[in-house]
Amino acid sequence: MQLADLDDDVARMKVRQEQLKIESDPEHIRRFFAGVGSTDPQAMREARRRELQAESDRITARLEQLSGRRTRLESAITDAQSRAYQQSAFQAVKLGETDRSLFPTGGRALLVTTVVLLLIGTIAFVMLMRSQRNDER
């Protein structure tokens, strides 16, 4: 949002700068004072030209400030995106650690597998014994 506001400010400043170029044209300055009586019209035109130049210089300086601000905002956005990516990666690693505790590995996996196989073997043995007893009867 700040970048959009900054872009709006830059656009307004550039429009005003273009207007100042037009207004600074000697013919435009002469027409600006048409109908104004003066004993020194040249001094009035020169004062107007300096006034327009000063405003143009202020706008140029402001545009440079806005350019620096844009750079800082873009850098802040990049940093925030990087931190968000790192946090999501950290969360994924944490989730992976949690998943590993749910699915044992190494020695625990061997122990769990052995217990499960013994349980299956015991159930199979008991069923076989019952089957043989039923056959004997």
Task: Give residues with Cβ within 8 angstroms of 14, minimum separation 6.
Answer: 63
- The verdict on 22 and 68 lying in the same domain is yes
Task: Give residues with Cβ within 8 angstroms of 109, minimum separation 6.
Answer: none
pLDDT for 98 equals 57
Backbone angles phi, psi at 39, to 5 degrees: -80, -15
- The verdict on 97 and 111 lying in the same domain is no
pLDDT digits (tens, 9 = 90+) for 60-101: 999 999 999 999 999 999 999 999 988 888 887 777 665 555
- The verdict on 96 and 136 lying in the same domain is no
Q: How many CB atoms lie within 10 A of CB 52?
A: 20
- The verdict on 49 and 90 lying in the same domain is yes
Task: Give residues with Cβ within 8 angstroms of 120, minimum separation 6.
Answer: none
Would the pTM of this model clear 0.75, i.e. be above it?
A: no
Residue ranges making up the domain that contains 120: 104-137
